[in-house]
Chain A
Amino acid sequence: MRINDTLRDYLTIAACFFIAFILAVLPFPEWAERFRPNWVGLVLIYWCIATPTKVTVGIGWIVGLILDVLFDSPLLGQLALAYALLAFLSVKMHLRIRMYPRWQQAVVILILLVVIQFLIIWIRIMLSQPAKFTNFWISVLISMLIWPWTFALLRNVRRRMGIR
């Protein structure tokens, strides 16, 4: 019975990530590309602060590795590294983030995502791949703006499925 429950929890979380992956690669018109929020990052942060015992660094790493393949990174593992760090920071701060009011949370999420973007760009520069510091700001800001709704939606999912 208990094993069944855990399995169901993990399947729910996996389904959330699955939808986030689809949203991440859904074709957008050229001009709208830069407005695409970091869906996978938001979902990962949510599950890290909501269930820090279930979704941890390891899951973040696997999610990053899948993104590596999905985005066809020049080298496998560069996004895996970044998302492992994102999961680590979120888990470390989960108690504090939970206490904050929704908009303050959004600011913390902004900072987390900017840190990750800087890490990703830094890795790209280290490996001498094309990288720009200019085109992620709008995406990160939009991620921050939609955080409250993402949070509410995912909390609904979590409560409905009784995941704790």
Chain B
Amino acid sequence: MISILGRTLRPPSSLARLIILVLLSVLIMYLDHKGDYGNYIRNTINTLIKPVHSIASLPSAVTGWFKEATKNETDYQAIIKDLENKNNKLSYKLNRRQTLEDENKRLRSQLGAVQRIRKDYTPRLAELLKVSIDPYTRKLYLNQGSNHGVFIRQPVVDAYGVVGQVSKVYNSKAVVTLIIDPSHAIPVMVRRNGLRTIVYGTGSLNTLSIPYLGTGSRIKEKDILVTSGMGGIFPTGYPVGRVKKIIKDPNEPFLNITVAPMARINYGKEVLLLYPKTRSKKSTP
């Protein structure tokens, strides 16, 4: 019993409270659906539960540290050698690519086609918090938020391919929807011949799918899919996945294609956030 100003009030029965709270939940869901109101609540609770996240991500941090600490000198030498090797190969590739790019530019200008300025991005490292979220979806937390300039729909990649895009931004945290999330779709093209399509997430870790390609489409197994840049979110030409299997069912109008993502979604801790270099460059063609 609560007494207010000398009057005693009976607290409402638990059924009444349940009904009130259910209505409140529905109201919050509605507000969250309609506009930005939900974000205030999310931000407040997120600051409250920050310790939960930091403690929960501790074990993987500790094992990482332990691995780092137990490496000896020969390991490091091997790593350095490996990296040097890779660096040589990469710079070779880069040089070759540079010439190709220059040639491409020249040819384009000769053709007189509208020169579409390639959107240039500055990548910046960010860390993924290794905590599990909603089991029905595929999302991860990022340790940077609006304080660091992260914005919504920002592309997230790693060294091997596209990882996903930022779907929610808090002050010092952001949620990344991975490309394997069942609600995620990304416009791609086949690198070999430029065939454009859309790759959907399936929810399982190592498979993406292409549901809407007709049986006559020119796509082969082991084809590499790169972003087509159609959605305006991802940069053009970044690898997304490799076609794993194509099943042709004569009764179906569409091919059943599974794709393996290129990005090492479950391994890496660091990802790259892509920041467009200049916004103004985009508007002046």
Contact = CB atoms under 8 A, between A and B. Distances in A.
Interface of A: 18, 21-22, 25-28, 30, 33-34, 36, 56-58, 61, 65-66, 69-78, 80-81, 84-85, 88, 91-92, 124, 127, 129-132, 135-136
A84 B136 contact: no
Interface string B15-54: 1011001101111110111000010011001101101110
Contacts of A72: 133-134, 137, 139, 168, 175
B132 interface: yes
Contacts of B182: 130
Nearest to A52: B14
Given A18-B52, A33-B132, A70-B52, A26 B59 contact: yes
A154 to B, nearest CB: 19
B134 A69 contact: no
B41 A88 contact: no
The list of the 5 closest CB pairs from A to B, nearest first, reads: A77-B28, A81-B25, A77-B25, A69-B45, A130-B182
A27 B21 contact: no
B134 A85 contact: no
A135 B135 contact: yes
A65 B132 contact: no
22 contacts: A22-B56, A25-B131, A25-B133, A26-B56, A26-B59, A27-B56, A30-B205, A33-B132, A56-B14, A57-B17, A57-B21, A70-B133, A72-B134, A76-B32, A78-B25, A80-B28, A81-B21, A85-B22, A127-B29, A129-B136, A130-B203, A135-B135
B130 interface: yes
A26 B55 CA distance: 8
Contacts of A84: 18, 21-22, 25
A21 B25 contact: no
Contacts of A76: 28-29, 31-32, 38, 41-42
Nearest to A31: B205
A61 B26 CA distance: 12
Contacts of A22: 52, 55-56
A27 B24 CA distance: 32
Interface residues of B, number: 46
A50 to B, nearest CB: 16
B122 interface: no
Contact of A65 (B22, B27, B45): B45
B57 interface: yes
B26 A25 contact: no
A25 B22 CA distance: 25
Contact of B135 (A26, A33, A91): A33
Contacts of B91: none
Nearest to B181: A130
A35 to B, nearest CB: 12
Contacts of B139: 72
B14 A27 contact: no
A74 B51 CA distance: 22
B49 to A, nearest CB: 6
Contacts of B104: none
B60 interface: yes
A75 B32 contact: yes
Contacts of A124: 136
Nearest to A17: B52
B266 interface: yes
B18 A57 contact: yes
Given A81-B26, A130-B183, A91 B41 contact: no
B18 A85 contact: yes
Contacts of A27: 56-57, 59-60, 130-132
Interface in B131-178: 131-137, 139, 168, 175
